[in-house]
A = this chain, B = another copy of it.
Amino acid sequence: MKHPTVIRPADHAVYAPTKMGKSTLFASPRLLAGLNAFEAGQEHALHAHPGQDKVYLVAEGSGVFLLDDRELPMTAGDLLIAPEGVPHGVRNPGPGRLLLVAVLAPAPAKG
């Protein structure tokens, strides 16, 4: 994808039957922007990113943002920020799909 261009997140969503689907919209050493797509019932377990901040935006649907001591209901249009090192996860209880824009900075090192 050549940037800048107008991106409709739903046009780039990749849903997978067995686990959260991922797609990349933009990647540089500074920033990774992508999509996390959840079918009903799927979950991204608690995890943390040492040294990386993460911004989530709910593009479509509703779900639950998981923290180690609480759960936050979220719906389309909501923004959440997981500062570096803070364990977080996502659950889509359904019945609809859940699509998140995820921005991670700096980008993960390439393996």
Task: Write the residues of chain A forming the contact surface with B, with a CB cutoff of 8 angstroms.
Answer: 3-9, 25-26, 28, 30-31, 33, 51-53, 55, 57, 59, 65, 67, 72-74, 77-84, 86, 88, 101, 103, 105-106
Q: Let me know if A88 and B4 touch, CB within 8 A.
A: yes
How many of these chains are in the complex? 2
A81 to B24, CA, bound (A): 12
The answer to whether residues A7 and B80 also contact, given A31-B53, A57-B101 and a CB cut-off of 8 A, is: yes
Which of A4, A53, A67, A83 lies at the interface centre, i.e. has the most chain B CB atoms within 10 A of its CB? A4
Main SS class of interface, A: strand
Which residue of chain B has the shortest Cβ distance to A87 in the bound complex?
Answer: B4
Residues of B with C-beta under 8 A to A81: 3-4, 7, 25-26, 33
